[in-house]
Amino acid sequence: MKSGAHAAISLVVAAGALALTTPPIPAWAVVALALAVGVGIDVDHFLLAWYNTGSLEPVRRCLRDPRIVVAAQEEIFDEGSVGALNRLLSHVVVGGLVVPPLWLSSPYVAGLVATALYAHVLADLVSTARWGVVVERETVDRER
């Protein structure tokens, strides 16, 4: 799923948080945090690609041509360098490591971060499942 879609989902999370709760932080901070978490979690894709390939080429691509970060995200990673299951797993691991310590300092912020991460992972799962169904149908059609 592209960053723009994750940003839109994060804005829905922020709007929900602002509508349903009385935040102990300013409204702009709720929006900024939801966006930062909901979109920023995908930075782990660079670490996964590096781990899987041993190459920092995706980082180099983004530094050489920053437009791809926004306008051509499909050009950042080589196919198979991140992996759908790996990226979902890493998001869950990051959430599990980040949310509990945050809870100790601010249960509200921890809840917001957890909700933004949950929405991100759920969107990725739905997107991956839909894409998987399309691929399965195409494979079945080719085999006929």
Q: What is the pLDDT of residue 140?
A: 47
C-alpha pair distances (Å), 15 with each of 18, 87, 115, 139: 5, 26, 12, 40
Which three-class secondary structure state does DSSP give residue 54?
coil
Cα distances (Å, whole numbers) of residue 109 to 9, 20, 103: 18, 14, 7
Higher pLDDT, 138 or 75: 75
Dihedral-angle region of residue 77 (phi above 0 means left; psi in -120 to 50 means alpha; beta otherwise): beta
Q: What is the pLDDT of residue 138?
A: 46
Residues 32-91 have pLDDT tens digits of 999 999 999 988 888 888 988 888 999 999 899 888 888 888 888 888 888 778 888 999
pLDDT digits over 80-136, tens only?
888 778 888 999 999 999 999 999 999 999 999 999 999 999 999 998 887 665 444
Higher-confidence residue of 42 and 31: namely: 31
pLDDT of residue 131: 67
Cα–Cα distance list, 45 to 15, 26, 60, 71, 87 (Å): 27, 30, 14, 17, 6
